[in-house]
Amino acid sequence: MAMIEELERTGNWLFRGRSYFPLLLYVLAAAVIGFDLDSYFQTFTLIPALICIGISIFGQVIRALTIGYTPQGTSGRNTKAGQVAEKLNTRGMYSIVRHPLYLGNYFMWLGIMIYVGNAWFVILCSLMYWLYYERIMFAEEAFLRGKFGQAFMDWSFNVPSFWPRTLAWKLPDVVFSLRNVLKREYNGFFAIFVSFAAISAAKHAVRGADTWAEILVPFWQYTLLVTFSVFCILRSLKRYSRVLHVEGR
């Protein structure tokens, strides 16, 4: 099998299993904390926690700007079955980078990785993230190039794949849909805060905390309560009503 075909096949396989990638990061984070390699944030301090949360929320904002302007049937709306695209999406976030969802994912994870408290962990996980998603991006672009030909080539020549060169935003063809964002992003939003709380709890547990309030400090208790409530409300609205439904999204 030619290398280009092997990379495309591997990318499609990794795309289908991308939901399992975070499990590897959790295992590595647990090892760093368990072996006392987390030099920073060993106990809860509000300012570092808020900074790391802010980095992750920045990634969530990138995803929201992408999803809120993405109509149905365009590139960027891949499914479990594979690539789906009736039209090449080149506006909004796609006028800045070709893979804005993966850029958003990276910042969401970056805040969590930093909060683990080991610089080498951040570097290692960033390299792993790039190697993993580079193959997925390769497979997606092979599909788009085959379907859209010169239109894809012109777009890819002017727009970088991952890191923005400019902020030359092209106004999307559709209006921003907050309901579409809420419908698709409530899982990831809640997962951010669960991850932060779990890391903080693990750090306190391995250092001898023996009461619930010492392991999971009140800040994370309240944060989880609020975000879990939001999660339950949005999940219920999505499953049992059409409040979050947007025609053509």
pLDDT at 49 over 60: yes
Tens of pLDDT along 226-245?
999 999 999 999 999 999 99
Tens of pLDDT along 52-86?
999 999 999 999 999 999 887 775 545 555 556 67
Cβ neighbours around 102 below 10 Å, total: 23
Residue 2's pLDDT is 62
Question: Which position has the token pair 């795309």?
Answer: 15
Locate 143 and state its tokens: 């599909």
Tens of pLDDT along 198-226?
999 999 999 988 899 899 999 999 999 99
Residue 20's pLDDT is 81
Residue 173's pLDDT band, with cuts at 50, 70 and 90, is confident
Q: What is the residue-averaged pLDDT of the chain?
A: 91
* Among 194, 198, 190, 137, CA closest to 163: 137
Give the SS3 label for residue 87. strand
Residue 86's pLDDT is 74
Fold for 3-176, please state it. Four Helix Bundle (Hemerythrin (Met), subunit A) (1.20.120)
Q: 78 or 116, which is more confident?
A: 116
- The residue extents of the domains of the chain are 3-176
Burial zone of 162 (CB within 10 Å; 0-12 exposed, 13-18 middle, 19+ buried): middle
